[in-house]
Amino acid sequence: MDYQAVLEEVAAFARPYVGHGQVADYIPALEKVPMDRFGIAVADINGEVYGVGDWEVPFSVQSISKTFSLALVMANDNDDIWKRVGREPSGTPFNSLVQLEWENGVPRNPFINAGALVVTDRLQTLTGDASTTMLHFLREESGNPDLAFDQAVADSEADHGDRNAALAHFMASFGNLENPVPSVIEHYFWQCSIEMSCRDLATAGGFLARHGLRADGSRLLEAREAKRINAVMLTCGTYDAAGEFAYRVGLPAKSGVGGGIVAVVPGRCTLCVWSPGLDTRGNSVAGAAALDHFTTLTGWSVF
């Protein structure tokens, strides 16, 4: 596979979509990101990385971090997390409180905000410092020791995080949080504020393409656990547009409102695409188009 040639063709296809949609202006620090950015990278299972466009420009990972927090919890806690969070698509926006009322404080899946707060809470219990644990893991897997939190983004989210606080307090009222709500929210915001490039994220997510093996060859997850994370990414990873995304792209993926999408081709490679313009569901417009074209060109999908 000539990855570089494929990525160049994908970038050319996606270019007309760049600038469409809207940035995540409800987080003021993200509102300032230029709409004309586009980058895509692919890391094969041997660690070779290829990229086009703004693929080495750092951006806010936001909800992409939820994939890594789930992996770290499962690596340390087996399947126990599934007693506290479900695995079903939500069918509602990622920050909705509606279903928690009906389902006794148990979030539908780990990739909506409520579910991610439960996972962060468990990671905090297991490690004593959820956000720093994730940062160190991402530095090791990406090979980039300079990865860091973005203070401005974390502060911006904290200043406008009333809905996330409401989700956390509501779940705490059902006994579904182990740590104090302010601590859980703080670590959640720090995780979302980490800045990474397409290169960093494609490389860091490689363990999902390698069936649970880390970059150094050690095992983070059993193959069945990596399979299960990929499955939940496919059904829940792009908010309440997961069905449409699976129809178009056919790969496990996790998006973030910073404009990034990480996608996995099990046994082959991991991709990351970034373009800040979002559709009404919170997914990158140009990013989804690029991944759609990638799977069309290569014929690679899980179907």
Q: Residues with catalytic annotation?
A: 63, 66, 188, 239, 257
Residues near 180 by beta carbon (within 8 Å), at least 6 away in sequence:
none
Q: How far apart are CA 258 and CA 195, in angstroms?
A: 10
- In DSSP terms, which residues pair with 263 in a beta bridge? 253, 271
Residues near 137 by beta carbon (within 8 Å), at least 6 away in sequence:
68, 72
| Cα dihedral 276, 278, 282, 288 sign | negative
Give the Å distances, CA to CA, from 230 to 131, 147, 185, 280, 293.
22, 24, 25, 24, 20
Specify the long-range contacts of residues 86-91, CB closer than 8 Å, at least 24 apart. 86/115, 87/231, 87/232, 87/235, 87/236, 88/235, 88/236, 89/235, 89/236, 89/240, 89/242, 89/243, 90/236, 90/239, 90/240, 91/240
Q: How far apart are CA 247 and CA 265, in angstroms?
A: 15
DSSP symbol at 219: B
111: nearest Cα among 154, 72, 64, 76: 64
118: nearest Cα among 163, 154, 82: 82
